[in-house]
Amino acid sequence: MSKIIISCAITGSIHTPSMSPYLPVTGEEIAAQAIGAAEAGATILHLHARNPDNGRPSADPAHWAGFLPAIKQGCDAVINMTTGGSAVMTMDQRLAAPKEFRPEMCSLNMGTMNFALYPMAARIKDWRFDWEKPFLEGTDDLVFKNTPRDIALVLSEMGARGARFEFECYDMSHLYMLKHFVDRGAVSGPLYIQFVFGVLGGMAPDPDMLVLMKRTADRLFGDQYLFSVLAAGRQQIPMATMAAAMGGHVRVGLEDNLYLSKGVLAETNAQQVAQIRGIVEGLGREVATPAEARAMLALKGAAEVGF
């Protein structure tokens, strides 16, 4: 089988700091965990920023500047900046830091959807920040807006800056939206498609859905794409293992899952990377180096970023 890319999502807007004391919040924590994940074998680092004063997801370039240069200096992993940010951010906010820092890769969500996180609120007893509980409870009425106009804007703004994309597909319809942009000439291969499972409002982490997504992508994109799988929550490792066995790539990290095993919190992102690395190598896959991933995905190279 081909080389396998391990992505690691270091921190994000899905899980709140209250759910784990190990979720990185400050720039120093994010940088340290990212570098540790790279040392454990992560090829790509998927990054969000947080306000270190209150733990909120942040679009402020100043918060991104608190860790991007340190990560670049500390490892050679590909840095993949979110353009999703948070469902409550405007598109201008979501694009502010990526436009300034011009990364090799950006994530791009391929459709508007319900983004329902409210069931998590019932599992938290002690809240670290006062915004967390009302935010989670309010997601029973939260729409994550990613219209065709939004998608076209991200493709235009970040494509002009030399970035390539991790196309995040939470549903079958998102594959067809991606095909629409391929047909428009706005996107060219090799495509890197992230099948996202486990967010209420998108696909459940069902093996049958993974098979269907893979068959559909094969039909739509032929040999012009690579696929990766992330599953939020306890199905993270089982679904990633299935993806690796199917010839795909994998994503782990504390953005998607806070645990190492049942009832055992992961203390670092590196622990999850080491766990999935052992599994995929046991399946006979060899982990791609950052240089190999750059060649596989036709990236511009770390020397061309703006940090």
Q: Which residues contact 58 (CB under 8 A, 6 or more apart)?
A: 49, 50, 51, 64
pLDDT at residue number 13:
81
Only one residue has tokens 């300034």, namely 100
pLDDT at residue number 2:
85
The average pLDDT across 24-32 equals: 98
pLDDT tens profile 194-224 = 999 999 999 999 999 999 999 999 999 999 9
Q: What percent of the chain has pLDDT over 90?
A: 94
pLDDT at residue number 16:
82
| Least reliable range by pLDDT among 1-10, 96-105, 250-259 | 1-10
Question: Taking Cα atoms as reference points, which of 187, 253, 231, 221 lies closest to residue 34?
Answer: 253
Q: CA-CA distance, 141 to 114, in Å (whole number)?
A: 8
pLDDT at position 77 over 70? yes
The average pLDDT across 159-172 equals: 98
- Work out whether strand 44-47 and strand 78-81 pair parallel, antiparallel, or are unpaired: parallel
pTM for the model: 0.97
DSSP secondary structure letter of residue 287: B
pLDDT at position 67 over 80? yes
Question: Taking Cα atoms as reference points, which of 230, 266, 276 lies closest to residue 251?
Answer: 230
pLDDT tens profile 119-155 = 999 889 899 999 999 999 999 999 999 999 999 999 9
Token pair listed for 133:
């509980």
Confidence band for 189, pLDDT divided at 50, 70 and 90: confident
The average pLDDT across 272-276 equals: 98
Q: What is the mean pLDDT of the chain?
A: 96
CATH code of the domain occupying 6-304: 3.20.20.70
Confidence band for 1, pLDDT divided at 50, 70 and 90: low
Q: Which residues contact 289 (CB under 8 A, 6 or more apart)?
A: 43
Token pair listed for 144:
């994550």
Q: Which residues contact 160 (CB under 8 A, 6 or more apart)?
A: none
Confidence band for 15, pLDDT divided at 50, 70 and 90: confident
Q: CA-CA distance, 184 to 178, in Å (whole number)?
A: 10
Q: CA-CA distance, 222 to 132, in Å (whole number)?
A: 43
- Phi-psi region at 162: left, alpha or beta (left = phi > 0; alpha = psi -120 to 50): left
Confidence band for 306, pLDDT divided at 50, 70 and 90: very high
Q: What percent of the chain has pLDDT over 70?
A: 100
The average pLDDT across 67-87 equals: 97
Domain regions of the chain by residue span:
6-304
- Work out whether strand 78-81 and strand 105-109 pair parallel, antiparallel, or are unpaired: parallel
Instruction: Specify the amino acid at residue 176.
Output: Y
| Cα distances (angstroms) measured from residue 302 to each of 33, 78, 80, 297 | 19, 7, 11, 13
| Cα distances (angstroms) measured from residue 271 to each of 14, 64, 173, 274 | 19, 24, 34, 5
Q: CA-CA distance, 9 to 160, in Å (whole number)?
A: 25
The full DSSP string for 221-240 is HTTSEEEEEEE-GGGHHHHH
Q: Name the residue with higher pLDDT: 92 or 13.
A: 92
Backbone angles phi, psi at 301, to 5 degrees: 105, 150
The average pLDDT across 61-70 equals: 98
Residue 60 CB coordination number (10 Å): 14
| Cα distances (angstroms) measured from residue 72 to each of 31, 103, 171, 293 | 9, 11, 33, 16
Q: CA-CA distance, 272 to 252, in Å (whole number)?
A: 6
Q: Are 307 and 68 in contact (CB under 8 A)?
A: yes
pLDDT at residue number 152:
98
